[in-house]
Structure 1
């Protein structure tokens, strides 16, 4: 299992490297074949130069020993510990037999130590296995040095340096082997750490991608809710008003044509208002995401309702069976476009509920400009938004009102009044204001 398949944060110090892929295992076979070819070539060359350490070992046996030392690296990434053990043992046995050629077997040993550090998933075992092999190799080197020291016929023709030739040979062998084995250990460890960092980066990238997807989905859902809220406010109110006015016109068309004509005029005006608001909403939806407010189409800006449109909204709700009243209290002061639109929509939804559900005979809308903010209150003398014999609403209207008020940090109160009827009260707080002498608002 890779780290990207886990839901929780992996513990990176205990991270386990995924097994090698088939392509990587095929590459190991190719590397082993290349090293084997090098082993055969060097054995032939060394024998041809007369540098065989043991004349009893034939060319064929030397080739077989070289192939035996190299063969385990075929599975060096799949089974690194077994490869290291096999190469280490065969390396010492081949040298003890007097194979002579040492370059290519050393390459195989380097690859085995490196691969154990880079691929062994059990890190403690990988560490001690490499240390054990390196110590064994130095023990073997020590044995060879002891043999060199006790050899009475060792000669160093042409030696002219300041050090004793025998001491120089010992220092050279020890230094070269120390660099060789420490390099294999170090680069294997670095390969493991690099793979772990890459896995961590891939995990972080995947987490970031998922987070971006979640944010995108959240933004889409929020936008859909906003669109649904706007469509509900626009369509539900205007259709309800048109239905009430059309019903009133139908009832009086034979007895009071003037009143019927007035009701039908209201239906026509309400339909036009609905079309204008829908056109404005569609204009906003078609606008580019980065388009500034000042660049919005003129028709979109004009169609967005504000507090000045409240009297017309209330008046359009009036019908033969519903009396409406609208009043403004306090000294009006400018509010933001968002607050104005929210006040309008809350009033619109409250009036829609009155028309559709309350069976009220009168409704009173009051807009108050207070020092602490703007308050709108809609009360009626009906029997609430639900009850026997009345159509049940979806509840989206109240949810939409709460969302609109909550966006501006305001408060919404809805419920029946003690004296009868229903009340909707929304408060939109405003920043503290000081009235300048000239009447201007100062933050």
Structure 2
């Protein structure tokens, strides 16, 4: 209606207003479903565009906008990228073929007057080049921006997918870390409590048996129970101090006594004290060190100590042994601890939490762990920890 009022007819004459409105409605109505059926909309709008130009409706701008949106939308929304590419190419080729028909008609018709032409080119040639250049810019822009919209949406989806994968991975890592921390706490509590409680139980039983007949022996047994209880409480405080220290914003927030207990974690130097504690239960324990003693990582020393502690606890609780041996060997690139006894062999007790904790401790350091009945009698526990090579120039001992 505005074009008719202005008299700006694209082809010099126009059909009735009702027909013009019908053509515009047909061209634009299909765009309402352009995202659901992008290829169908592209083909329909392309066909209607050529038909509207053949009918020479008054306005050429709105059909051109509808065709631009149809080409752009096919590139932006069609999931089948092969169809999206070749359907747009086919429509653009068809449009240029129709343009070629129009240019031929323009060239064979009587040449119009170009009274105001002032450029260096022939006015007719300039009109042809202008038409080709404008259409190239029009169609290639629709093609290019459609592809860019598809790539942008795809990158956005990939980023969201990766963000979701990262979130799930972080949740899995967090759950794994929580489980690992629970296992570590359970293992440490078992190592700290089981040994001391076993010693306390044996000493308390001994004190009960001789309480009426040998007061001095009963008194010594109860004193051992008291000392062992203090040691167990100290170890538990040290473990709790570590847990508090991990949650504290800085080291000053943790109790100093707990931190001191953590710093003084038992190691290979405390094995003689561990042997003496086992001897206090009446078990004859021999302790031997082989090779040249050297410094080993604190984590390795603590794990080796815990392995010996748990092995001696099992000897006291389960083996019914009279004699045990604790050996510490400094080998090339490794530190090895071994505990043997002459007891019953504990044939069926190889799946308890104690052995599982020892295996886990050794596995953390990439070492080797062996546990099982000896060939003649008793039981053997052996753990080897990688701990660096022996300094050059030192021989085997």
If the length of structure 1 is used for normalisation, what is the TM-score?
0.80
Deviation at 1:319, TM superposition (A): 4.7
Work out whether residues 276 and 303 of structure 1, in 8 Å CA contact, stay in contact via their aligned partners in 2: no
2:272 alignment counterpart: 311
Instruction: Indicate yes or no: 2:195 matched with 1:237.
Output: yes
CA offset digits 1:175-216 (Å, max 9, x no partner): 111111111112112222222233333333333333333333
Distance 1:227 1:113, change over 3 A: same
Q: Which residue of 2 aligns with 1:176?
A: 134
CA contact 2:241–2:262 (8 Å) conserved in 1: no
2:375 to 410, 415, 418: 418
Residues 134/418 of structure 1: CA separation in 2 closer, same or farther (3 Å cut)? closer
Q: Is 1:76–1:115's contact at 8 Å kept on the other side of the alignment?
A: yes
1:123 to 2:81 alignment: yes
* Equivalent position of 2:56 in the other structure: 98
Cα offset for 1:269?
1.1
Q: Is the 8 Å Cα contact of residues 77 and 119 (structure 1) preserved in structure 2?
A: yes
Over 3 Å counting, the alpha-carbon distance change for 1:120 and 1:427 in structure 2 is closer
Q: What's the secondary structure of 1:414's corresponding residue?
A: strand
Q: How many pairs align?
A: 390
The answer (yes or no) to whether the contact 1:277–1:303 under 8 Å persists in 2 is no
> Is 1:403 matched with 2:329?
no
* SS of equivalent residue, structure 1 residue 434: coil
Evaluate the alpha carbon distance shift between residue 172 and residue 373 of structure 1 in structure 2; reply closer, same or farther with a 3 A threshold.
Answer: closer
- 1:363 is matched with 324
Contact 1:148/1:154, CA 8 A, preserved across alignment? no
Q: Which moved more, 1:128-137 or 1:373-382?
A: 373-382
Tell me, yes or no, if the aligned pair for 1:54 and 1:99 is still in contact at 8 Å. no
Aligned to 1:58: 16
Pairwise CA distance, 1:372: 5.0
Compared with structure 1, are the counterparts of its residues 69 and 350 closer, same or farther at alpha carbon in structure 2 (3 Å cutoff)? same
Distance 2:320 2:250 in 1: 44
DSSP-derived class of the 1:254 partner: coil
Q: 1:410 to 1:132 in 2, by over 3 A?
A: closer
Provide closer, same or farther for how the CA distance between residues 435 and 144 of structure 1 changes in structure 2, counting only shifts above 3 A: closer
| 3-state secondary structure, aligned to 2:246 | coil
- Once the two structures are superposed, residues 93-120 of structure 1 have per-residue CA deviations (whole angstroms, 9 ceiling, x without a partner) of 2222221211121111000001111111
Q: Distance in 2 between matches of 1:201 and 1:295?
A: 41
Structure 1 residues 173 and 356, CA gap change in structure 2 (3 angstroms): same
How far apart are 1:308 and its partner, in Å?
Answer: 2.9
* Secondary structure in structure 2 of the residue aligned to 1:430: strand
Match status 1:190 vs 2:148: yes
By how many angstroms is 1:148 displaced? 1.9
Q: Kindly indicate whether residue 302 of structure 2 is the aligned counterpart of residue 345 of structure 1.
A: no
SS in 1 for 2:389: coil
Q: Alignment partner of 1:363: what SS?
A: strand
- Please tell me whether residue 269 in structure 1 is matched to residue 230 in structure 2: no
The one of 149, 165, 173 aligned to 2:107: 149
CA distance in 2, matches of 1:428, 1:127: 63
Structure 1 residue 382: deviation in Å?
0.7
In the aligned structure 2, how far is the partner of 1:428 from the partner of 1:119?
61
- Structure 2 distance, partners of 1:67, 1:207, is 46
- Specify every segment of 5 or more residues in structure 2 that has no aligned partner in the other structure, as ranges: none
1:288-339 Cα distance to aligned partner (Å, 9 max, x none): 3798999984423355212232222222223565333334444433332222
Give the alignment's Cα RMSD to 1 decimal: 2.7
Moved more, 288-297 or 251-260: 288-297
Cα gap change, 1:48 to 1:312, in 2 (>3 Å)? same
Distance 2:281 2:56 in 1: 118
- The equivalent of 1:201 in structure 2 is 159
Tell whether the 8 Å contact from 1:377 to 1:425 is kept in structure 2 after alignment.
Answer: yes
SS in 1 for 2:120: coil
Task: Indicate yes or no: 2:216 matched with 1:258.
Answer: yes
Q: State the SS of the aligned residue for 2:241.
A: helix
CA displacement 1:237-287 (0-9 Å, x = unmatched): 111111111111111112112111111111111111111111101111111
Distance change >3 Å, CA 54–CA 394, structure 1 → 2: same
Change (3 A) 1:294 1:340: farther
CA distance in 1, matches of 2:264, 2:163: 44
- Mapped partners of 1:434, 1:303: distance in 2: 26
Quote the offset at 1:348 in angstroms: 0.6
8 Å Cα contact 1:313-1:348 kept in structure 2: yes
C-alpha distance in 2, partners of 1:366/1:275? 28
Partners of 1:436 and 1:319 lie apart in 2 by 41
Q: Contact 1:88/1:133 (CA < 8 Å) preserved in 2?
A: yes
Name the CA distance, whole Å, in 2 between partners of 1:291 and 1:328: 42
- Counterpart check, 1:279 vs 2:240: no
Asked if structure 2 preserves the Cα contact closer than 8 Å seen for 1:357 and 1:386, the reply is: no
Aligned to 1:287, the other structure's residue is in SS state helix
